Amino acid sequence: MVTRTLFALLVSSLALWGFVNAQPSPLERLPRQTIGDRAFRQYARVERTDGTYRQMYLDERSLEVFARTNTLPDGAFIVMKTYYSPGVESTNFTKSRANGRWLYGSFSPQRPNFDTRPDASCQGCHQTATSSVAGTFTLPMLRRAVRDGRVAVTTCNRGGRTPCDPATYER
Ligand code: HEC
């Protein structure tokens, strides 16, 4: 009798252990995307009322670091895919973190390219990102995605690339 109870207990705790371990972590629930030869996860989507939208991806290694430390390490690489009409991918814009500052780049979807360099015109606008540290507009959305295991989505009532009200990225 005692043996049987112990056995039942053992089986059920093993089953519970297996169940808990099979649950994907919040990071694993973010859509995985291979770009070129690198692995990314999507963390955000910003929709504009003019019908355009942009999707943001962070490299997997930096995503793990960010989840632990709440900071983007050197080597962090963000890709932003732009869509001027639904489902039609246009230019990809990129930024990478090196020695505590941002370098910028871009490529066409057919030819991924991870070269980045200092760019005053990109930087000039990005440093106005007041809703976040480190000149990254969508950083509050990254925080939310990491916490919830879900792509953070927001809608902005301004057209083109005009920065949205900081609160837009906090929602
Ligand atoms: C006039 C302002 C402006 C300029 C210039 C600009 N951006 Fe941005 N960028 C934004 C805004 C605003 C966002 C946030 C997404 C949104 O609101 O649509 C963003 C987001 C990004 C992101 C996603 C990470 C983040 O910071 O949120 C990347 C990558 C990016 N831009 C790359 C570039 C590159 C590369 C250039 C230069 C070739 C550039 N941007 C120039 C306004 C600008």
CATH code of domain 24-170 = 3.50.70
* CA separation for the pair 13, 9 (Å, rounded): 6
Cα 10 to Cα 18, 21, 37, 142, 144: the distances in Å are 12, 16, 44, 40, 38
43 lines ligand 1 (CB under 6 A): no
pTM: 0.89
Structure tokens, 32: 């995985």
120-147 tens-digit pLDDT: 999 999 988 765 556 899 999 999 999 9
2-15 tens-digit pLDDT: 677 766 776 666 66
Q: What are phi and psi of 124, to 5 degrees?
A: -55, -40
Which of 126, 143, 153, 169 is the best mutation target for the ligand 1 pocket, counting ligand atoms within 8 Å of the beta carbon and taking the most? 126
56 lines ligand 1 (CB under 6 A): yes
